[in-house]
Amino acid sequence: MSAIPLPASGASAAGPRHVAIIMDGNGRWAKRRHLPRIAGHRKGVEAVKKVARAARDLGIDYLTLYAFSSENWRRPPDEVRDLMGLLRRFIQSDIEEFIREGVRLAIVGDYRALAPDLVAMIDDAMARTAANPGPTVVIALNYGAQAEIADAARRLAEQASAGTLDPATIDETLFERTLASGKLPPVDLLIRTSGEQRLSNFLLWQAAYAELLFVDALWPDFDGDALAAALGAFAQRQRRFGGL
C-alpha cells in the first residue's frame, strides 16, 4: 500500500493544480531567424510573463518553470552569463508586477550557488511576495532532480546515524517531505515545448503521476492560448493512479 494518498482516478475536468513546464527551444527560435541565441532567451522571458499571467487567469495554483538546469553549466560561458543577466533583469523589473498581481515567487534548485547579488535579489523577491495569495510561480534554477533526491537521502541518513531517526520510519511521505521542494503538490501536468520528448532531470519524484504533454511550439512562441489548449488536452486525459 502506498504511504502517499493518491487522488481518486477519473477524468481531469477539475483542471491541474500544479503545472510544470520545460521551457525548451529558445536557441532554435533564434537560429530560425538568424539571430544570436540570446535573442531567443530574451523572447523566452516575454513568454514567461504571458504564461504566468495566463496561469493565474486559468486557476492554476502552482506553475513551475524550468529556467536553468544543473546541467546547463555545460553551455559556453557567454551563454551562461547572458542567461544570468536576463534572470537578474527579470527579478529586478518584473517583481513589482508579481507583487501587484498577488503572485508568490518560490525557487527550487541550488540557487544559492549563483552570484551573491542575484541570491540577495531572489531572497528579497521571495520575502516580498511571501504573503501574496497566489498563484505560486516556482522557478527551477540550477535545478537537478537527481541531486534533489540524493540530498534528501543524505539528510535522512545523517539523522539516522545521529540516532534521531529510525530508518524503519522512512516511507514515501517522509521522503517527500524531506525533498527541498517537499512543500509543492505533485505535478498534475508536465509540458515540454520544442518537440523534444524527455525529462532532462526535471521533477522526477514529483512527476510520478503527471500527465505528460509534448508540444511542437518553441518556447518563445508559447503563450496564454497555448497554455489554455494544454489544459484542454489535460481535461481529455483519464487519470487512474494505478486504479481502474
| Contact residues for ligand IPE, defined by CB under 6 A | 22-28, 66-69, 72, 83, 194, 196, 198, 200, 219
Task: Return the number of the residue (24 or 188) whose C-beta is nearest ligand IPE.
Answer: 24
- What single-letter amino acid sits at 25? G
CB of 24 to Mg ion, least distance (A): 4
CB of 243 to ligand IPE, least distance (A): 32
CB of 236 to ligand IPE, least distance (A): 26
CB of 81 to Mg ion, least distance (A): 18
Task: Return the number of the residue (86 or 126) whose C-beta is nearest Mg ion.
Answer: 86
Cell 487522488 -> residue = 7
b or e along 32-44 (b: 16 or more beta carbons within 10 Å of the residue's beta carbon)?
A: eeeeebbbbbbbb
Catalytic status, residue 24: yes
Interaction mask 12-51, Mg ion, x per CB under 5 A: ------------x---------------------------
Catalytic status, residue 82: no
* Selected catalytic residue, list 72, 94, 110, 223: 72
Classify residue 142 by burial, with Cβ atoms within 10 Å: 0-12, 13-18, 19+: buried
28 binds, among Mg ion, ligand IPE, none (CB under 5 to 8 A by kind): ligand IPE
CB 97 within 8 A of CB 66: no
Query: Could you give the CA distance from residue 21 to residue 28 in angstroms, rounded to a whole number?
Result: 17
CB of 234 to ligand IPE, least distance (A): 20
72 binds, among Mg ion, ligand IPE, none (CB under 5 to 8 A by kind): ligand IPE
Task: Return the number of the residue (38 or 55) whose C-beta is nearest ligand IPE.
Answer: 38
66 binds, among ligand IPE, Mg ion, none (CB under 5 to 8 A by kind): ligand IPE
67 binds, among ligand IPE, Mg ion, none (CB under 5 to 8 A by kind): ligand IPE
Q: Which residues are catalytic?
A: 24, 72
| Residues of this chain that bind Mg ion (CB under 5 A) | 24
